[in-house]
Amino acid sequence: MAEQGPIPASAEAGFVFSMSQPENPFIADPYFQRALAAYLPEDILAEVVPAFTRFAEATISPQVKEWNLNAERQQPFVEKHNVWGARHDVDRLVTSEGWRALRKWGAEEGTVAIGYETRYGKYNRIVQHAKNYLFSPVSGLTGCPLSMTDGTARLLRSQLPGLPASHPFHETYDRLTARTGSWTSGQWMTERPGGSDVQNTETWARYAPLSSKTEGEHGALDQGDYLVSGFKFFSSATDADVTMLLAKTESGKLSAFLAPLTRTVAAAEDGGGGGTGKVVTNGVRIHRLKNKFGTKQLPTAELELKDMRAHLVGPVDRGVATISHLLNVTRAWAFVSSIAAMRRGLGISKQFAANRTVFGYPLWALPLHLRTLADIEVRVRGFTQLGFFTVSLMSFTENGFPESGTLKASPPLPDPGEAATVVLRALTAAAKAVTSKNAVVTMQECMEALGGVGYMDDPDEPENVARALRDISVNAIWEGTTNVLSSEFVRHVLNRNHLEHINSWLSKAIDGVGNRDYREALQASWGNLYGRLRKNKDYIFDVLSVGRSVMFSFSWIVVGVLLAWDAQRDGDELAGEVARRCILNGEGGLREWLLPDVGVPSAAARFDESKERAKW
Ligand code: UCC
Ligand code: FAD
């Protein structure tokens, strides 16, 4: 009898790859812990580390997984009419139970509230965004409405001083910042003629105060003095309680408004029709929900507005300046979520590389694959520093700067006041743009690192890199595209004395870098960029044409400085190697957008084959 050969594989038999169970994402992320230790004082760190460990454990619980799967499987839809064909008083946007549960959980866990509570004092934004970093990858995109809620709260807080206690903004602010029974807010800016250039807005607001006022569903918020009509092309918080929006007034200029999405009919407007007290739409009709590449859990809609009763926020004709308070907050959420996604993608790729065998070697042991992952590690560490430095500055500009010496390991901060505000605005735009753009490239690399399985888009798979790539791609578009933020960056940096404020801070930070090679490389790069910006200050159009390179070069230099400070704080060997690769080799990804002759002074040497080939 012939000897039986190996059993051929079948669907039931043969090799099946298996990934290990996800680990607690806080424990499995030592670099994030290291970064937090630089930006938080010891007493707060001691309190939040156990809390974050518990929260991170919850993020991988079966319950949270189920909510995410449910949000992914049951996409939102709208019921507009009853069976007889009559339009409902309020369009019924139906979202999944999982999506609603995730949003409620996020609010209760304080992803918005921590930024307004006093518990962490000056450091509240850092703790808040550290929590968001853990929440974001499992948030089912509920970070989107929560971020806009945060932004609206920040904006309203700036308006509260001087308003009587009975003014509805007080209650709205309290609701937006509450952990339970909280409201969410939308942000309606984008219209068909343009979302980057909001001056093209076709929505108008007419001053039409009510003759007598009856408090409604949202208290006095229901009784705004303006009636707003128009068409909003993108609304991601279609099921919000309230929204901030832009509209033109009589002057033809933009103003900012706050309105509830539903309201109670007041006696003054009912005209004896028996409708007083009835809850109706506040003039909002859902035209349709969008079909999107990703973010499918999120109910993004086109909205028709007809006589939406709204309150003016901030001075009339100052709509963009007013709503920019909101924009800067949501942009921070965007970059934190981009950084978190990259770290999660890299974690999955590393886990896969540890378990997969190719050509007789474990995947991680192949130098080219290892280099690919190491490059991402440099990038993620750099962006973690950039993101949390920016968030720290946001926290301190809002709450006051720490006493000198409290943060022993933190890089130098700009001076409080105007200098800090100028640096913060530059960093917020740059961090949002560069991390979001890099997140797209990085998630694609993480997908490729898993081979064909990386491309699978199985809704039941929680570690679904394909979905993460689809979802994260939007970060480079919403809240300002890469080029729009580059333009915002250039215009801001070249405005008045802003470049000098930035130079004072950055030069001080670079001068404090102990390693001579790093310091000289950074001085050369920044000296070059600063000199070119100063020389071309009056040629803004020319600088705008290379705005993307300017912003990426600046970001690369800041990332290098922050990594150098990270390395020198305790001489950690790995941190030193990451700083070296970033500063001297330009590794980590930012180099792709550098202005020629600005970045990576040693790059020229790298192409001097006789010197460098042996080191590759
Ligand atoms: O996409 C959206 C929501 C999606 C959900 C978000 C989720 C995020 C996190 C998710 C986590 C999972 S809402 C739509 C977002 N749309 C945008 O971001 C618009 C993009 N376009 C721009 O940013 C443009 O640069 C504009 C609209 C700001 C430019 O408009 P203008 O009309 O040209 O205005 P100016 O001249 O640039 O600015 C007018 C004033 C100036 O002040 P003054 O008059 O005193 O000189 C500016 O300095 O506003 C000031 N200003 C700012 N101030 C403008 N931008 C800022 C800023 N960022 N910070 C402070
Ligand atoms: P455009 O402004 O037409 O831009 C087209 C191209 O022109 C872009 O590549 C842009 O970079 C480029 N461009 C524009 N200006 C310049 C310039 N000065 N220099 C160089 N290049 C330039 N908006 C809201 O208001 N609320 C929401 O809730 C909301 N949710 C969204 C959800 C999703 C899923 C998406 C995809 C978008 C959402 N948006 C929302 C809209 C988003 O903010 C806009 O799409 C974005 O701001 C870009 O505007 P636009 O689509 O009009 O593109």
Nearest CA to ligand 1 atom 40: 321
Nearest CA to ligand 1 atom 29: 197
CA of 193 to the centre of ligand 2 (A): 10
Q: DSSP string of 430-459?
A: HHHHHHHHHHHHHHHHHHHHTGGGGG---T
61-113 pLDDT tens trace: 999 999 999 999 999 999 888 888 888 877 889 999 999 999 999 999 999 99
Predicted pLDDT of residue 600:
60
Say yes or no: CB of residue 194 within 6 Å of ligand 2: yes
CA of 195 to the centre of ligand 2 (A): 5
Q: What percent of the chain is modeled with pLDDT above 90?
A: 79
Say yes or no: CB of residue 188 within 6 Å of ligand 2: yes
Q: Which residue has the higher pLDDT, 286 or 615?
A: 286
Nearest CA to ligand 2 atom 20: 483
Residue type, 551: M
Question: Residue 1 — pLDDT band, cuts 50, 70, 90?
Answer: low
CA of 484 to the centre of ligand 2 (A): 9
The residue-averaged pLDDT of 165-191 equals 96
447-470 pLDDT tens trace: 999 999 999 998 777 678 999 999
Say yes or no: CB of residue 292 within 6 Å of ligand 2: yes
Question: Residue 293 — pLDDT band, cuts 50, 70, 90?
Answer: very high
499-558 pLDDT tens trace: 999 999 999 999 999 999 999 999 999 999 999 999 998 899 999 999 999 999 999 999
Predicted pLDDT of residue 609:
42
The residue-averaged pLDDT of 572-597 equals 88
Ligand 1 pocket list (CB less than 6 A): 136, 143-144, 147-148, 187, 189-190, 195-196, 198-199, 236, 320-321, 324, 327-328, 330, 333-334, 337, 425, 478-480, 484, 488
pLDDT at 377 over 70: yes
Closest listed residue to residue 562, CA positions, set 188, 149, 31, 206 = 31
Q: Which residue has the higher pLDDT, 115 or 609?
A: 115
591-614 pLDDT tens trace: 778 887 776 655 444 444 444 444
310-359 pLDDT tens trace: 999 999 999 999 999 999 999 999 999 999 999 999 999 999 999 999 99
Say yes or no: CB of residue 24 within 6 Å of ligand 2: no
Say yes or no: CB of residue 234 within 6 Å of ligand 2: yes
Q: What is the mean pLDDT of the chain?
A: 92
24-63 pLDDT tens trace: 999 999 999 999 999 999 999 999 999 999 999 999 999 9
Predicted pLDDT of residue 232:
97
CA angle, residues 186, 191, 197, in degrees to nearest 5: 105
Quote the CA–CA distance of 609 and 381 in Å, as a whole number.
29
The residue-averaged pLDDT of 257-265 equals 92
Predicted pLDDT of residue 2:
58
Say yes or no: CB of residue 474 within 6 Å of ligand 2: yes
- Contact criterion met (CB below 8 Å) for 292 and 478: no
Say yes or no: CB of residue 487 within 6 Å of ligand 2: yes
pLDDT at 280 over 60: yes
User: Is the predicted ipTM greater than 0.95, yes or no?
Assistant: yes
pTM strictly above 0.80: yes
Quote the CA–CA distance of 428 and 386 in Å, as a whole number.
9
Say yes or no: CB of residue 473 within 6 Å of ligand 2: no
Which neighbouring-strand residues pair with 185?
Answer: 242
* Distances 568 to 360, 522, 563, 574, 579 between C-alpha atoms, Å: 39, 15, 9, 11, 10
CA of 609 to the centre of ligand 2 (A): 44
Question: Residue 271 — pLDDT band, cuts 50, 70, 90?
Answer: low
429-439 pLDDT tens trace: 999 999 999 99
The residue-averaged pLDDT of 558-570 equals 96
Output the 3-class SS for 130-146. Answer: HHHHHHHHHCCCCHHHH
The residue-averaged pLDDT of 391-400 equals 97
CA angle, residues 356, 362, 368, in degrees to nearest 5: 105
Question: Quick one: which atom of ligand 2 is closest to the CA of 190?
Answer: 25
Which of left, alpha, beta for 561 (phi over 0: left; psi -120 to 50: alpha)? alpha
| Number of neighbours of residue 613 by Cβ within 10 angstroms | 10
The residue-averaged pLDDT of 281-307 equals 95
The residue-averaged pLDDT of 258-283 equals 80
pLDDT at 396 over 90: yes
Nearest CA to ligand 1 atom 59: 324
Which neighbouring-strand residues pair with 310?
Answer: 226
Output the 3-class SS for 342-408. Answer: HHHHHHHHHHHHHHCEECCEEHHHCHHHHHHHHHHHHHHHHHHHHHHHHHHHHHHHHHCCCCCCCCC
Predicted pLDDT of residue 80:
86
Predicted pLDDT of residue 324:
97
Quote the CA–CA distance of 283 and 267 in Å, as a whole number.
17
Predicted pLDDT of residue 604:
41
Question: Quick one: which atom of ligand 2 is closest to the CA of 479?
Answer: 43
Say yes or no: CB of residue 195 within 6 Å of ligand 2: yes
Predicted pLDDT of residue 611:
44
pLDDT at 272 over 70: no
- Contact criterion met (CB below 8 Å) for 241 and 183: yes
* Distances 403 to 77, 377, 387, 407, 505 between C-alpha atoms, Å: 51, 33, 22, 8, 18
Ligand nearest 199 Cα, by number?
1
Say yes or no: CB of residue 459 within 6 Å of ligand 2: no
Pocket test for ligand 1, best of 324, 481, 482, 489 (most atoms within 8 A of CB): 324
CA of 225 to the centre of ligand 2 (A): 30
Burial state string for 449-487 with b = 16 or more CB within 10 A and e = fewer than 16 = bbeeebeeeeeeebbbbbbbbbbbbbbbebbbbbebbbb
Residue type, 387: G
Q: Which residue has the higher pLDDT, 604 or 10?
A: 10
Nearest CA to ligand 2 atom 43: 478
CA of 327 to the centre of ligand 1 (A): 6
Pocket test for ligand 1, best of 189, 292, 320 (most atoms within 8 A of CB): 320
The residue-averaged pLDDT of 175-196 equals 96
Token pair belonging to 13: 């038999």
Predicted pLDDT of residue 614:
42
The residue-averaged pLDDT of 202-211 equals 93
Question: Quick one: which atom of ligand 1 is closest to the CA of 147?
Answer: 9
CA of 337 to the centre of ligand 1 (A): 19
- Contact criterion met (CB below 8 Å) for 342 and 383: yes
